[in-house]
Amino acid sequence: MDVALKDAMQIDGAIGVALVDRSSGMALGVAGGDRNFDLTVAAAANTEVVRAKLRTMEMLGLRESIEDVLITLDSQYHLIRPLTGRAGQGLFLYLALYKERANLALARHQLKRIEANLDI
């Protein structure tokens, strides 16, 4: 997990990254962030985003999985990527990026690779 978080912080524009338990909202690991950007608070709050999307998909009868969720702010991108492997069920990666320094397509690709190599 520490290697995955460290790798995610190497993505251009990375502010911070967290591995989050969807059921509790608890960050199991964090890297980056600062006193103005508390990753544990962001992790807990973004748990509600994932839960809401899953409820919506259920109500609509969509039998698909979430690849990722993108939230675009004025100066930041926030990526939420639920883990798909059996060991990662109920977990997601949360990555915040500075918009002016990030390449969104490349960041999504790198986060997917990090997920694939993540061993929990």
How far is residue 38's CA from residue 51's CA, in Å, rounded to a whole number? Answer: 21
Note the pLDDT of residue 85.
73
Note the pLDDT of residue 87.
65
Please give the CATH superfamily to which domain 1-117 belongs: Dynein light chain 2a, cytoplasmic (3.30.450.30)
Note the pLDDT of residue 117.
87
Query: Would you write out the chain's pLDDT as a tens digit for each of its 120 residues?
Result: 899 999 999 999 999 999 999 999 999 999 998 888 999 999 999 999 999 999 999 999 999 999 999 999 999 999 999 998 766 789 999 999 999 999 999 999 999 999 988 877
In sequence order, the 6+-apart residues with CB closer than 8 A to the CB of 105 are none
Give the angle subtended at the CA of 59 by the CAs of 65 and 78, to the nearest 5°: 45
Note the pLDDT of residue 118.
86
How far is residue 99's CA from residue 82's CA, in Å, rounded to a whole number? Answer: 21
How far is residue 40's CA from residue 46's CA, in Å, rounded to a whole number? Answer: 10
Cα separation values, 94 from 21, 59, 60, 81, 98, Å: 11, 25, 25, 6, 14
Overall pTM > 0.85: yes
91 neighbors 22 (Cβ within 8 angstroms): yes
Number of Cβ within 10 Å of residue 20's Cβ equals: 29
